[in-house]
């Protein structure tokens, strides 16, 4: 019996460029995951247009209409269940989730964050990395646990910080890498190759690089 594709729900709040990267990756006929629902807490965002253009059902639960997080999460849960969602990708989703919701999806929900976690959790992280004098920034795909921007890390991409970087220029270069690693991580998960052991994640058949990155690079002496 052939196993079906992993049914994925993507939670968004904004532009949805990571959603687009996931949509594009899942469009490959051999991709082991399919996006069955896009869920937004904000009406009218570009991510919803992207879902529509890809003929993916979407639903909006405007958080402003809810008195508490529990009610909001319960409605999301119902929509996810009705769509048969088995796995969640948070893609620029800007709402804190209740512990009950996160625990229900434990090991079945991942997030992308534009820093090298565990450094720079929260907001405005690209500018904060520059201001802290860091030489490298980057992005992280991790499993979601109740604490924000914490959880076993699947993959990271390192992006050097340039002397003339602003938060925006650095964010743009990090975003390019986000679009690489998020679809890769979803594929690995859907292929059943990702194993969580405590705080660590192991990927069957992973290629681990030896080379270190230096910033600035060493100068060549002839
Ligand atoms: C990305 O930088 C992501 O890492 C962060 O929010 C941003 C969302 O961008 N969590 P987009 O909506 O995917 O374009």
Residue 17 has pLDDT above 60, yes or no: yes
What stretches of the chain show up as alpha helix (H) in DSSP? Answer: 17-26, 46-53, 69-82, 99-104, 125-131, 167-190
Q: Band the pLDDT of 211: cuts 50, 70, 90.
A: very high
pLDDT for res 118: 98
User: pLDDT tens for residues 58-75?
Assistant: 999 999 999 999 999 999
Which protein residue's CA is at the shortest distance from atom 14 of ligand 1? 17
Q: Catalytic one among 31, 104, 113, 179?
A: 113
| 142 catalytically annotated | no
| Residue 157: HSE in the Cβ half-sphere, 13 Å Cα cutoff | 20
Query: Nearest 5°: phi and psi at 64?
Result: -65, -20
Give residues (CB < 6 A) around ligand 1. Answer: 14-18, 91-92, 112-114, 175, 178
Gyration radius from the chain CA atoms:
18
Round to whole Å and give the CA distance between 34 and 171. Answer: 28
Test site for ligand 1: of 21, 112, 128, 148, most ligand atoms within 8 A of the Cβ: 112
| Cα-to-centroid distance, 91 and ligand 1 (Å) | 6
pLDDT tens for 185-196 read 999 999 999 999
Report DSSP letters for 147-164, one per residue. Answer: STT-S-EEEEEEEEPPTT
Q: Cα(104)–Cα(109) distance, rounded to whole angstroms?
A: 10
Please tell me the distance between residue 114's alpha carbon and the centre of ligand 1 in angstroms.
7
Look-up of token digits 């679809």: 183
State which ligand 1 atom lies nearest to the alpha carbon of 18. Answer: 13
Give the residue-averaged pLDDT of 154-178. Answer: 98
Per-residue confidence (pLDDT) for residue 220, from 0 to 100: 85
């Amino acid at each position: 019996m052939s196993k079906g594709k992993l049914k994925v729900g993507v939670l968004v709040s904004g532009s949805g460029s990571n959603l687009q990267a996931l949509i594009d990756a899942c469009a490959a006929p051999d991709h082991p995951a399919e996006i069955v629902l896009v869920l937004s807490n904000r009406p009218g965002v570009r991510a919803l247009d992207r879902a529509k253009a890809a003929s993916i059902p979407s639903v909006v639960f405007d958080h402003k209409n809810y008195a508490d997080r529990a009610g909001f999460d319960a409605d999301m849960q119902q929509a996810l269940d009705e769509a048969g969602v088995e796995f969640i990708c948070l893609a620029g989703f800007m709402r804190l989730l209740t512990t009950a919701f996160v625990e229900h999806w434990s090991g079945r929900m991942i997030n992308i964050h534009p820093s090298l976690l565990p450094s720079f959790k929260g907001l405005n992280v690209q500018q904060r990395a520059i201001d802290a004098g860091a030489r490298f920034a980057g992005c992280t795909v991790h499993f979601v646990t109740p604490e924000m921007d914490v959880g076993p890390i699947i993959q990271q991409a390192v992006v050097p910080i340039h002397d003339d970087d602003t938060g925006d220029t650095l964010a743009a270069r990090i975003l390019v890498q986000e679009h690489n690693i998020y679809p890769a991580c979803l594929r690995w998960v859907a292929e059943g190759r990702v194993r969580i052991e405590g705080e660590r994640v192991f990927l069957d058949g992973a290629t681990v690089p030896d080379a270190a990155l230096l910033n600035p690079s060493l100068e060549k002496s002839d």
